[in-house]
Structures are given as C-alpha cells and as structure tokens.
C-alpha cells in the first residue's frame, strides 16, 4: 500500500559510504540518559558523538533534566527515509550486515521459543522489559545476519524509549523498508513483526506499572506431532453436561462455546494435559452404526464447518470408509450433494441451518435429481440470524430503494433462504456471493457495467468491511490495485465508492462477538500471533487482521481461506525444519476446530517419514468475551465417579454462560447455537427411519418450494437464478450476459 510522503529527512542518519565497514548511526543503541545494560559491554552501535545533534533533540527535557532524543516515531520515519535514499538493495543489505555485526548476541537462555518472533523467515528472538527508570530495554538476535541488521536498526530507534513512545510508532512508517533485501518481501516483514513484538512488551510494561495483573489468556488448543492435543489457559469452570469421562479417559469435549478443556490445579493454573477427545478419537461403535445405515441405504452426508466438533469427528472418521461424506462451507455443500447423487446416493442428509438444506434441495432439483430425498436434522426450525435479517420488511425496503436507482445490482450473501433470493431477484437483479468471492464479484460488476450501483446485504459487518477494503485500495498504487483486479485503478476505485451501498441492520450472532472487548485483548496479548478473521466480523477485528495480513501474519476471508492459511503457515514451518510454535487466533466459529486439527495432523503425519525432525506445534486460540465466562468455581463442580476421579477431576470446561448450557443467542463466544441443533442422535434417527414409508420424517424433509413469487413465478426457479449467476461468474470471472441485460434493461429475457 502507498504511504503518504514523509517529511524531508534530517541530515544523514546513515552514512552511505561503503568505505566504512560499520556505517555510523546518529542514534545510539542505548539512550544516553540510561546506564549501559549489564553484559552489553561497548559493542552497542554508537555515533562518534555520545549526544544526538542539536537538530534531532526534543525541546522538552526528561525527568532527569537531560535533553532527550526525538520521539521514536520520528526516528523510525527518518531511518525509513534514509534507507529509501540508498540507491539499491545490495547497498542496503551491506549496511544491514554491518550493523548486524555490532549487535550483541543473546545468550542461549534467551534464544527460546517464548522469545521467538512469529512470521519471520529466519529465527528471530526478542527480549524486552522496562528498567527502573521506566524505559524499555530491548535486545534481539537471529540466525540470519540480515534479520539481525533489521533488529539492530529497530533497537537503535526504540531502546531507551518510554513504553508509550514505543506504542506511538505507526507500523505504516516501516513501509519504505519493504523489499530492501534483494526485493524479498517476506524477509522485510521482519521489520514489522519485530516492532509488533516490541509494542506487545511495551503494553505489558504499562500494565505492570499501573498495577494491572496480566490478563487471563483465551482458551487454546495445542496440536503436536505425536497427535497429542493439550488444552491450556485458566478460566472459571462452567458446568454443562457434554463434558464427560468414559473408560477412565476424557472421551468428550464440548466446544459449544469455543471452549477448550483446561486444567485448573491449585499450584499452577496453566498446567496442561494430553488427552484423546471424542472429536479426534470417536467411539468406534458409533462409527460402525452410522456406516451400516449409510451403506445399506445409500445415504450421503453434507455438513458445515461450524458443526459440533464431536459430530464432525465421527463424520471425519466415517469418511475413511464411506466417501459420500463432506464437510465444507455452505456453497460447496450443495455441489457435493450433486456429486453424491451422481454417484448413486438416494438420500442426502444435511447438517446445517435450514437455508443450507433448502439450497441443497433446490440445486439437486436443478440438476435433475428430484427423486433424491433431502433431510435436515431437526423437526424444529434451524434458524440463522443473517437469513432472518434478509427476510425482514426492513430488507425489502432496502431493496425497493435499490430498484429506484438504476442501473443496480443486488449482491446477496449465499447465507440466505431461497425464498429471500427469489423475492429479491424480482425487485432488483441479484447475484449470490460467498465470503471468498464477494470482493471479486463486486469489482467485476463495477468494471463490466458503467455507472452501476451495487447493493450488498444482509451482513452489515461484511458490507462495512468491503467498503473499508475499497477505501484502502483507493490509496494504493495502480500497480497494486491491478494485482487485485486488472480492470481497476485508483481513479475507478475512487469513483465506485459512492455507488457501493450495504444493508446496515443484519449480522451473524457468532461473529458479532469479535467486538471491542475481544479486540482489545487480542491487541494486548496476541498482537504478535497469526490472526484469522472471517469477513463477517466487526470492523475492529477486520482492521486488526488486515494489518496483520500486510506483514504476512493474517488472513481475512471465508472459512476455507482461514483453513488454507493455517495449513500454508504450517507447511512453511515444516519446510524450515526448525523447532517452532505457531499460534493462531481463530476469528470465526469454534466448530472449525475439527477440520483444523484434522488438517494439521495430516500435514504433520506427511512429514513424519521424511528427514523432518523438528518439534513443531500449532496452537489455536479461541477468543471469548466476558459474557461467556461462568462464575462457577471448581469446588462447585459435580464430581465424577470415584473410579475416574483422579487428577481428571480438576479439569474445567471453559467458558460457558452462567447457566452452564454453553453459548446462548445472546453471544459471548464464537459458537452458533443453531448449528449445534444438528446432533449425532438426530442423524442416526433420520438414517434409521429411511426410507420414510410412514411419513414419520415429514418435518425433517428439506423444503421444496412450490409456492409462487408476487409475480407468479415459482420460488424454486427464481431463487436458484442468483446462484446460477454466481456459478457463471466463478467459471468465467465475468457476469453473464443475461445478468448484465437484467441490470440494464430489467429482468426480462435478453433479446436475440
């Protein structure tokens, strides 16, 4: 991204002459008013004079009366300007290598995983704490000399600064430093990631100074090479029935409110325990029972990523013996159902919310599989807050406004009912989208139809995030914009901004949890971790993850995008073959944990037979708001049978609302209460009673819309058309001629 022009640089901070083996810095590594750290000797990089030149001094004086250096933020900007002024990458690299040689080495005791800076190509270690005078003291090291050079420059600017001054440094000021190492963008992110690590330590120093105890960590799950899974963290116990013991082992974990199973011993509240959970090692008898029905009755199963992890575990294990089981996002569920029907499945069971089973039913009908039965998992309605928002009168009012502003295109999220899609399409030409293709869809629409107005809904957070993304693009260079969409540039992006509209009264109750409280805790405790966020999260979480994305530490997108990001970072670590601990903050529904664990185990296993011998762990962190934490104490928990009540009786299941039922529709954690209505018992019940000769499963059948729209058309036919428009876009990367005609001339058929 472009950065606004910086102020003119002060006289040279870096002497560019290559005749000197060690370029001189105008800023010493250590602040002159502070004592030299013990053990550092005289190897700190210093300029010839021990004081900064007059034009770099602040007018204000420090508490000790000594003139201080300019603010660290100014030093960073000037260093960045100086680096940008050096003519080529080779010369810049030589300067970095020279300063790397002057950086003191860390002792082995500090070169440990706890001090590792994640996201760097090389191994980088950072140590930072506040001294008695209230100033930050930093030291760093790396197994790469270029990375050591990066660290030396950052330490020269920030060592000796006050914690608040470290936090004032804008990471965007490091943008000019990108690509200095022979154009390697990934290596240049070391600048940014080390700075983030410094700022995390500065926040901790401020908290300690103010007497605030370290915050409790979010629940997390650590996945290791030996297939051991351990939970860690400390929260009050929440009682709820799904956590249980059988065969003297933990056999079931409820993740119904993004929970991990946590030890809470009296001496060490961060103790850890290896265990086998049902979603990893499900009961073989349940797998056998399910497989018997699936094979005998030719039943296919499609399930969403947000499904209950215990159920997902059984399905994942069963898939090894019956290929017609698929866990994915909502769009691929329907595609998979068609493939199962083509392979001979006579029934499809859908584990999701009602609009998903409706879509499966409609797509099968469109593909000619009208006789294939489609069954949901409850006789009650399995709702969705987004789908409900799109079926409201307020959303109809939103679309009527769009119909009065031609030419208009309605881009509707796939997570809506077929009836909503049909009624919307008759008001405004409509195309569906997913969280992974919505940006490409909107950009292509603006490029393909001059003067177009785009109306997105119903997810308000996603709409705001799309607008935010386009505003970010508006300050990029034309070359950077072209990498995102070849038909756009700064002028076209700025021109489309006032013509992009989004519905402002709809959201997902799960992603709504990722608001201010959670984001502030992520900033304080997890800013140096890999951040993942679904496109449906509130703007604060979106911005935080987008910033992380710019330095290779984040992803914003669909559930599949998040899964792919975790896998790619793990593969990079495996290829480096160095001991590592990768920490990911999961910014979406906690039900994804089963797919994540399965994918991580698959990758770890695939490297077992190779020469790869490093100890690499993946930690998944589950953000939780205070609303989801129960006040129940460990002493108040119900006890297990004496035969199993050993150290296991100290386990706490975290978090959970006070009632102990897991997350409610009031939020507090990343778990969808509607998705959790899809139980294994319901799946067995449906499979057992098929074929439904006595009509006992009528309430479980997916709706087949025989109703008509206000214009007299079949809901099933009209509702499928926006989906078909999206399929055309996915295949060709262009809007279909039919849709373009509908936008420009109305919903009639194009004239030939």
Residue with tokens 């940006």: 439
Q: CA nearest 277: which of 225, 224, 228?
A: 228
Given a cut of 50, whether residue 20 has pLDDT beyond it is: no
The pLDDT score that the predictor gives to residue 68 is: 53
- 396 is written with which tokens? 């109809």
Peptide bond preceding 655 in cis form (omega within 30 of 0): yes
pLDDT score for 716: 81
Angle of CA points 56, 153, 93, to nearest 5°: 120
Predicted confidence band of residue 187 (pLDDT cuts 50, 70, 90): low
**For residue 407, is the peptide bond before it cis, meaning its omega torsion is within 30 degrees of 0?**
yes
* pLDDT given for residue 649 in this prediction: 33
What CATH architecture applies to the domain 72-210? Alpha-Beta Complex (3.90)
CATH code of domain 279-381+686-700: 3.40.50.10800
Residue 554 near residue 533 (C-beta atoms within 8 A): yes
pLDDT score, position 611: 63
Write down the pLDDT at residue 669.
59
Closest C-alpha among 81, 64, 105 to residue 26: 81
Task: Report whether CATH 3.40.50.10800 matches the domain 511-606+615-628.
Answer: yes
Among 287-301, 441-455, 588-602, 723-737, where is mean pLDDT lowest? 588-602
Pairing of strands 500-502, 453-457: parallel
- Please tell me the distance from the alpha carbon of residue 285 to that of residue 573, in angstroms, as a whole number: 37
Output b/e per residue, 205-235; b: 16+ Cβ within 10 A: bbeeeeeeeeebbbbbbbbbbeeebbbbbbb
Q: What's residue 421's pLDDT?
A: 94
What is the rounded CA–CA span in Å between residue 333 and residue 627? Answer: 33
pLDDT, mean of residues 76-104: 80
Q: Which residue has the higher pLDDT, 316 or 445?
A: 445
Question: Are the C-beta atoms of residues 28 and 47 closer than 8 Å to each other?
Answer: yes
How far, in Å, CA of 353 to CA of 509, rounded? 14
In 3D space, the residue among 134, 107, 95, 111 whose CA is nearest the CA of residue 40 turns out to be 107
Looking at the predicted structure, is the pLDDT value of residue 323 above 90?
A: yes
**For residue 318, what are its two tokens?**
């069963």
The per-residue pLDDT for range 672-715, each reduced to its tens digit, is 778 878 889 999 999 999 999 889 999 999 977 677 888 888 88
Task: Please give the pLDDT value at position 508.
Answer: 81
Whether pLDDT at 749 is above 80: no
Residue 654 bridge partners (DSSP)? 260
Q: Which of 150, 2, 6 is nearest to 73 (CA)?
A: 6
Domains 72-210 and 279-381+686-700 belong to one CATH topology:
no
Task: Return the structure tokens found at 169.
Answer: 């440094």
Of the segments 182-196, 411-425, 590-604, which one has the largest average pLDDT value? 411-425
Coil, helix or strand for 519?
helix
Residue 673 φ/ψ, nearest 5 degrees: -65, -25
d(CA 482, CA 612): 39
Considering only 167-181, 461-475, 616-630, which range has the smallest mean pLDDT? 167-181
pLDDT for 238 beyond 80:
no
Query: Is the backbone peptide bond immediately before 691 cis, with ω within 30 degrees of 0?
Result: yes
Which of 83-87, 98-102, 133-137 is modeled with the greatest confidence?
133-137
Residue 123 near residue 143, CB atoms below 8 Å: yes
* Stretch among 102-106, 611-615, 620-624 having the lowest mean pLDDT: 611-615
In DSSP terms, 374 is beta-bridged to 348
Q: Residue 636 — pLDDT band, cuts 50, 70, 90?
A: very low
Q: What is the pLDDT of residue 147?
A: 87
Contact call for residues 513 and 670 (beta carbons, < 8 A)? yes
pLDDT over 70 (residue 243): no
Query: Could you report the per-residue pLDDT of 271-321, keeping only the tens digit for each?
Result: 322 333 445 567 888 999 999 999 999 999 999 888 777 788 889 889 999
Q: What is the mean pLDDT of residues 730-749?
A: 88
Mean pLDDT of 446-465: 95
CA distances 69 to 58, 66, 161, 342, Å, are: 6, 10, 9, 72
Paired with 554 in beta bridges are 531
Helix axes 418-427, 393-403, angle to 10 degrees: 30
C-alpha radius of gyration, the chain, whole number: 29
pLDDT for residue 280: 57
The SS3 assignment for 571 reads helix
Structure tokens at 713: 């058309």
What does the pLDDT average to over 646-650? 32
Cis peptide before 733 (omega within 30 of 0): no
Mean pLDDT along residues 339-358: 95
> Do the Cβ atoms of 50 and 44 come closer than 8 Å?
no
Query: Is beta strand 229-232 parallel, antiparallel or unpaired with respect to 220-223?
Result: antiparallel
Q: What is the C-alpha separation between 619 and 230, in angstroms, rounded?
A: 9
Query: For residue 279, what pLDDT is reported?
Result: 53
Q: What residues contact 734, with CB distance under 8 A and at least 6 apart?
A: 444, 448, 728
Q: In the chain, what is the straight-line distance between the N-terminal and C-terminal CA atoms, in Å?
A: 45
Confidence (pLDDT) at 373:
96
Q: Are 656 and 243 in contact, with CB atoms under 8 Å apart? A: no
pTM score over 0.85? no
How many Cα atoms are found within 13 Å in the side-chain-facing hemisphere of 148? 17
Average the pLDDT over 106-112 and give the result. Answer: 92
Give me the phi and psi of 71, to 5 degrees please.
-55, 145
Q: What is the pLDDT of residue 399?
A: 96
The answer to whether residue 747 scores a pLDDT higher than 80 is no
> What's the pLDDT at 562?
93
Rounded Cα distance between 507 and 384, Å, is 10
Domain segments of the chain as ranges: 72-210, 279-381+686-700, 385-508+706-745, 511-606+615-628
Mean pLDDT score of the chain? 76
Question: Catalytic annotation on 120?
Answer: yes
Least confident of 85-99, 121-135, 233-247, 510-524: 233-247
Whether 683 contacts 301, CB under 8 Å = yes
pLDDT at residue 190 in the model: 77
What are 589's two structure tokens? 């529904």
Q: How far apart are CA 620 and CA 303, in angstroms?
A: 22
Whole-number Å distance between alpha carbons of 310 and 679: 9
Helical spans, DSSP H, in 86-184: 89-102, 145-158, 163-168
Q: Which one from 120, 130, 151, 672 is the annotated catalytic residue?
A: 120
């Amino acid at each position: 991204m472009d950065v606004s022009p910086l102020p003119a640089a002060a006289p040279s901070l870096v002497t560019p002459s290559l005749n000197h083996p060690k370029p001189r810095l105008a800023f010493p590594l250590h602040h002159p008013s502070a004592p030299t750290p013990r053990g550092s000797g005289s190897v700190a990089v210093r300029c010839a004079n021990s004081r900064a030149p007059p034009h770099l001094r602040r007018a204000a004086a420090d508490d000790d009366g000594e003139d201080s250096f300019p603010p660290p933020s100014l030093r960073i900007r000037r260093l960045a300007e100086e680096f940008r002024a050096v003519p080529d990458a080779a010369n810049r690299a030589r300067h970095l290598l020279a300063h790397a040689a002057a950086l003191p080495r860390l002792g082995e005791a500090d070169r440990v995983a706890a001090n590792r800076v994640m996201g760097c190509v090389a191994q980088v270690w950072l140590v930072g704490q506040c001294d008695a005078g209230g100033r930050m003291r930093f030291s760093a090291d790396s197994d790469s000399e270029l990375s050591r050079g990066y660290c030396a420059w950052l330490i020269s600017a920030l060592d000796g600064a006050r914690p608040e001054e470290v936090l004032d440094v804008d990471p965007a000021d490091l943008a000019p430093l990108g690509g200095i190492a022979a154009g390697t963008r990934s290596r240049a992110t070391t600048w940014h990631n080390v700075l983030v690590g410094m700022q995390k330590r500065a926040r901790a120093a401020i908290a300690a100074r103010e007497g605030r105890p370290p915050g409790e960590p979010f629940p997390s799950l650590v996945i290791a090479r030996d297939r051991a899974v351990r939970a860690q963290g400390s929260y009050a116990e929440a009682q709820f029935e799904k956590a249980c013991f059988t065969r003297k082992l933990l056999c079931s974990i409820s993740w119904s409110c993004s929970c991990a199973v946590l030890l809470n011993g009296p001496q060490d509240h961060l103790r850890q325990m290896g265990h086998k959970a049902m979603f990893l090692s499900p009961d073989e008898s349940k797998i056998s029972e399910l497989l018997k029905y699936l094979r005998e009755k030719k039943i296919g199963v499609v399930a969403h990523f947000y499904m209950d992890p215990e159920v997902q575990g059984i399905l994942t294990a069963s898939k090894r013996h019956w290929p017609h089981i698929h866990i994915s996002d909502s769009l691929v569920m329907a595609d998979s159902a068609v493939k199962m029907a083509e392979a001979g499945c006579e029934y499809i069971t859908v584990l999701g919310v009602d609009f998903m089973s409706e879509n499966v039913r409609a797509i099968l009908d469109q593909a000619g599989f009208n006789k294939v039965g489609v069954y949901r998992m409850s006789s009650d309605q399995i709702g969705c807050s987004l789908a409900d928002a799109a079926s409201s009168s307020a959303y109809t009012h939103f679309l009527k406004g769009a119909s009065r502003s031609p030419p208009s295109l309605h881009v509707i999220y796939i997570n809506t009912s077929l009836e909503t899609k049909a009624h919307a399409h008759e008001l405004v030409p409509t195309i569906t989208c997913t969280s992974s293709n919505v940006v490409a869809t909107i950009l292509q629409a603006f490029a393909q139809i001059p003067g177009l107005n785009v109306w997105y809904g119903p997810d308000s957070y996603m709409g705001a995030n799309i607008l935010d993304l386009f505003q970010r693009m508006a300050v990029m260079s034309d070359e950077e914009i072209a990498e995102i969409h070849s038909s756009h540039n700064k002028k076209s992006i700025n021109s489309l901004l006032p013509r992009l509209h989004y519905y402002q009264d709809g959201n997902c109750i799960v992603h709504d949890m990722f608001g201010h409280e959670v984001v502030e805790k992520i900033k304080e405790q997890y800013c140096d971790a890999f951040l993942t966020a679904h496109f449906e999260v509130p703007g604060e979480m979106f911005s935080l993850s987008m910033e992380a994305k710019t330095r290779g530490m984040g992803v914003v997108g669909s559930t599949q995008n998040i899964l792919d990001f975790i896998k790619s970072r793990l593969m990079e670590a495996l290829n480096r073959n160095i001991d590592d601990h990768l920490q990911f903050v999961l910014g979406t529904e906690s039900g994804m944990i089963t797919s994540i664990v399965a994918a991580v185990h698959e990758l770890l296993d695939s490297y077992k037979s190779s020469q790869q011998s490093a100890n690499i762990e993946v930690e998944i962190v589950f953000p939780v708001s205070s609303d989801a934490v129960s006040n129940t104490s460990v002493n108040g928990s119900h006890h297990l049978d004496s035969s199993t009540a050993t150290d296991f009786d100290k386990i706490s299941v975290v978090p959970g609302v006070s009632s102990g039922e897991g997350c409610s529709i009031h939020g507090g954690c990343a778990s969808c209460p509607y998705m959790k209505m899809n139980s294994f018992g319901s799946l067995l019940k449906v499979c057992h009673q098929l074929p439904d000769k006595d009509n006992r499963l009528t309430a479980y059948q997916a709706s087949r819309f025989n109703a008509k729209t206000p214009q007299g058309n079949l809901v099933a036919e009209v509702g499928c058309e926006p989906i078909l428009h999206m399929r055309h876009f996915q295949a060709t990367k262009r809007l279909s001629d039919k849709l373009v005609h509908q936008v420009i001339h109305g919903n009639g058929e194009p004239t030939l």
